Amino acid sequence: MRSRFSSRLICMLVVMCSAGTLVAEENAKPNIIAILVDDIGVGDFGFSGGTDFPTPNIDALAKSGCIFTNGYALPSCSPTRAALMTGRYPARFGIEDNRPLDGPKGGMDVNEVTLPTKLHEAGYETRLIGKWHLGKGDHFEFAPRNRGFDEFYGYFGAAGRYVDPKLSRNGTEKIRKGYITDLLTDEVCHFLKQKHDKPFFIHLAHMAAHLPQVAKPEDLARVPNLTGKRKTAAAIITNLDDNIGRLMATLKETGLDQNTLVFFISDNGAEPPVLGTSNGPHRGMKFDVLEGGIRVPFVASWPGHIPAGSTYEPMVHVMDAYSTSLVAAGVKVPANVDGVDLMPYVAGSNKSPVHPQLCWIYNDHKEWRIPGRDTNLARPLRSIREGDWKLVMEGDNAPELYSVSSDPGESKNVANENAGVVERLKEDYSDWKAKMKPQVIGDDHPLYGRFKFMKPKK
């Protein structure tokens, strides 16, 4: 009798311990916050080389994890957001630039499986706070809550408004009093302070420092050494820095900081003459495939998993955040994904390059801004990087080859001295491009379709 009771007790304890282990494993899944800022370059933050105004809170976030010194995105908003959401080159599903997404009917291909969808299926609570720019209207199939997000608080298009913005909360749009960077951070902090029965994924997509720029007077006063557009940009980024500090402080106060994976990335390079933002040593800007258009501030922080104060030199891409997040959450990464789990590389267990090659294609905005030019035949911008080599191909111009590590400003074209490298990279690029889906802009597109019927200027 005693033996039978002991056996039952042991069985009960085994079941209870097993259940406890399952609960512990479920609770061990990290929370994930993917912060995307807008049109800010490597010359705008201290951790990535900026020097003309301080960004102490963002620098502290960077120092708490790994700084990716060769972090890449796409040349403009929508393609980068599509890459983050799908873990794939957006050109695979017909997104090369913003134009298809800027119309009232356009949106990201509904067959693409998004990061919030995969995490939601794995038991995560999912929220988008801020900019979407992958399809309009909460009642359309392209809208955030139809792409894996449980909740949405933000705006749909390329740009919102800094002061008293019109923000949608799950389809209900209204004016929200305040400054947009503060309001979006308020929303995140309010959520973090709630009780959480599930792990969560938050995509925080700030407007800073996109047009139309408006800075707070008190923030302008904090950068007295600067003038003009640079002063406005610095004030907007200073406010952003305050808010990132507030977010990180809330994570710490709530005890969530130790099990939260945080990404901090810009959606493309800066646009100095328009926005006053800075690409540091890099030539080109937003809308380019030169380094200034695609090299971006890029950080990942996860206490206990990513070594604090670390840097990683080989090139990484925004689409890697997709795979890294899924693996961290214990979710199988789809086979068709281009992004890579960064954790083995950061930890040093994988010494090979994350990406042996990366490719870009983009249509030149300077062409379609000129009335009379055919927007669908705009001069394409193409590039491929392999190790230190970067091949740039603009329209019918002769290809240009740069050694990026020794020439970050892409100032010395060494194509003539390295003809074999040029031809090999051209072939590799052609092989990659053949796997992509051409971008299509409909004749009825309200902004760009009309240009298709104009005759080019002579």
Residue 449: the pLDDT is 65
| Predicted confidence band of residue 375 (pLDDT cuts 50, 70, 90) | low
Distance from C-alpha of 317 to C-alpha of 340, rounded to nearest angstrom:
9
Residues 340 and 364 reside in one and the same domain = no
Render pLDDT for 204-214 as a digit per residue (tens, 0 to 9): 999 999 999 99
245 occurs within a structural domain: yes
Choose the catalytic residue: 66, 133, 203, 210: 133
Is the model's pLDDT at 170 over the cut of 60?
A: yes
Q: Which one is catalytic: 77, 203, 206, 210?
A: 77
What predicted TM-score, i.e. pTM, was given to this entire model?
A: 0.92
pLDDT in tens, 208-265: 999 999 999 999 999 999 999 999 999 999 999 999 999 999 999 999 999 999 999 9
Residue 199 to residue 222: CA distance in whole angstroms: 38
- Do residue 233 and residue 262 come from a single domain? yes
Dist CA 272 CA 52 (whole Å): 14
pLDDT of res. 140: 79
Q: Is residue 353 part of a domain?
A: no
- Count H helices and E strands in the chain, helices first: 14, 16
Among left, alpha and beta (phi > 0; psi -120 to 50; other), residue 88 is: beta
Last residue of a domain, one of 301, 322, 347: 347
Of the residues 321, 347, 373, the one at which a domain ends: 347
Q: Containing domain of residue 286, as a range?
A: 29-347
Cβ contact 285:292 at 8 Å? yes
Contact 339, 87 (CB under 8 A): yes
Residues 335 and 362 in one domain: no
Asked whether the predicted pLDDT for residue 14 surpasses 50, the reply is: no
DSSP 186-255: HHHHHHHTS--SS-EEEEEE--TTPSSP---HHHHTT-TT--HHHHHHHHHHHHHHHHHHHHHHHHHHTT
CATH of the domain at 173: 3.40.720.10
User: What mean pLDDT, rounded, does the chain reach?
Assistant: 91
pLDDT at 3 over 50: no
Closest CA to 43 of 248, 217, 206, 233: 233
Bridge partner residues of 200 (DSSP) = 125
Least Cα distance to 86 among 314, 268, 326 occurs for: 326
Predicted confidence (pLDDT) at residue 17 exceeds the cutoff of 50: no
Identify the CA nearest to 236 among candidates 216, 259, 256: 216
The crossing angle, in degrees rounded to 10, of helices 228-253 and 180-192 is 10
Q: How many domains does the chain have?
A: 2
Q: Which of 347, 374, 398 is the last residue of a domain?
A: 347
Q: Are residues 116 and 265 in the same domain?
A: yes
206 lies in some domain: yes
Tell which wins on pLDDT, 418 or 442. 418
Residue 365: active-site member: no
Catalytic residue check, 133: yes
Contact 183, 176 (CB under 8 A): yes
CATH of residue 403? 3.30.1120.10
